[in-house]
Amino acid sequence: MNAIATVTPVPRNDAPPEALQAGLLARVLDEIDHGLLLVDLTGRLLHANRPARRELAGGRALREVDGMLWTALPAWQARIRQALKDAERDCRSIVELDAEGEPLTLAFVPLAVLHGSATVDTVLIMCSRRSTCETLTMQMFARAKHLTPAEQAVLTQLCAGHGAQEIACLQGIRVSTVRTHIKNVRQKTGRGSVREIVRELSRMPQIVSALRLVGSD
């Protein structure tokens, strides 16, 4: 009688190496259109995704100085310090910075490096978006709805808060032409008003443009 050999399956470890996991996580965070900053309780920067790095490089409200998070105006720095103190007590908070007429809102979320730990030692800072709708999201929406380039351009300006008269001035065309484009956009999207279209676009996943500008980081 032939003995049937019992083969013990070799356990497989399909989990990627930690370095690969960290790199993949960083790439995922770069695709989120909100700036994300991870700092310690002193304000030292531990990580920043791509939109956050652009925000820091622009220096309109936030900047990096010797690895520390600083604000463009000294008066704002006190708000950041207070938000970090609140985070240390496990309290979330919102800070608004009115930078050059374009406000930047920051949400401070206390975190613990060790899962399940009650001690807060890091803070996630989430930045508000600078634009209502990302360019790539607009392009994908326009393609799906078969909008012409002119109609897409008008819709982009509507999402930026401009009215028909302003759009006509910005694009150097007649107001009647703008209104025709708006009518066509409403018909092609099946929406009853511009407000509905803008609201729909604002709820869509905002995809960061795949075209990276050299030196933009």
The amino acid occupying position 121 is: D
Q: Assess if residue 15 is contained within a domain.
A: no
pTM above threshold 0.75: no
pLDDT at site 85: 95
What band does 21 get if pLDDT is binned at 50, 70 and 90? confident
Q: Which position has the higher pLDDT, 115 or 11?
A: 115
Distance (Å, rounded) from C-alpha 85 to C-alpha 153? 45
Determine the average pLDDT of the residues in 17-26. Answer: 74
Confirm if 61 and 95 have CB atoms less than 8 A apart: no
| Residue-wise pLDDT tens digits, 162-184 | 999 999 999 999 999 999 999 99
Please indicate, yes or no, whether residues 153 and 198 belong to a single structural domain of this protein: yes
Query: Which residues have C-beta within 8 Å of that of residue 145, sequence separation ≥ 6?
Result: 185, 188, 189
pLDDT at site 167: 96
| DSSP3 helix / strand / coil % (the chain, rounded to 5) | 40, 20, 40
In this structure, the dihedral spanned by the alpha carbons of residues 127, 132, 135 and 140, taken in order and rounded to 10 degrees, is: 120
**Which residue range(s) make up the domain with 153?**
135-203
Please indicate, yes or no, whether residues 122 and 97 belong to a single structural domain of this protein: yes
Q: Which position has the higher pLDDT, 52 or 20?
A: 52
pLDDT at site 175: 96
**Structurally, how many domains does the chain consist of?**
2
pLDDT at site 173: 95
Confirm if 181 and 151 have CB atoms less than 8 A apart: yes
Please indicate, yes or no, whether residues 58 and 90 belong to a single structural domain of this protein: yes
Q: Assess if residue 170 is contained within a domain.
A: yes
